[in-house]
Amino acid sequence: MLHVAMYRPVIPQNTGAVARQCVGMNAHLHLIGPMGFEITDHAVKRAGLDYWPYLHLTEYADEAAFYDWLGERRVWLITKFGGTRFDRADYEDEDVLMVGNENHGLPESIHERHSGTRVSIPMPGTSLGNVRSYNVSNAAAIVMAMAMVRIADSDS
């Protein structure tokens, strides 16, 4: 099973959208706190619609609790700060895709810890000054879809 981790999310609609993607792709969602909202917020569940009961979800009070669970699993950071292009990574079953906080991204300590497993999505609009980054839920969906294809291809 693929895993998706959201680091300290603050926008409930983004979390709901990622949750819905996780249900559709049979992935496990990991929410690393503290979060900027309660998981019971109407906006989160509204974005996840009636899929919420089918979500594989684990919440962590903080980063340390998440890393206690992680063990030997590999983490791919979804970031605009370089790394392997998302469609060229060698994803495997049980990998974790991690997105950062909507306002601040991921801390430098996490970037350092996973410096060899960062993926980025091409963003030609940045050179024109039109966009700073992709929405975290959209970025997660793009990379999740590619990871699922890569994992399925390696299984066949």
For residue 123, the Cα-to-chain-centroid distance in whole angstroms is 18
Is-contact 90 123, C-beta < 8 A? no
Q: Is 142 annotated as a binding residue?
A: no
Q: Is 120 annotated as a binding residue?
A: no
Give percent helix, percent strand, percent coil of the chain, each to the nearest 5. 45, 20, 35
Distance CA 21, CA 12 (A): 14
Q: Is 133 annotated as a binding residue?
A: yes
Compute CA distances 29 → 72, 84, 116, whole Å. 18, 23, 22
Distance CA 75, CA 80 (A): 16
Q: Is 121 annotated as a binding residue?
A: yes
**Amino acid residing at 107:** P
Distance CA 65, CA 60 (A): 6
Q: Write out the binding residues.
A: 78, 100, 121, 133
User: Binding site for S-adenosyl-L-methionine: residue ranges?
Assistant: 78, 100, 121, 133
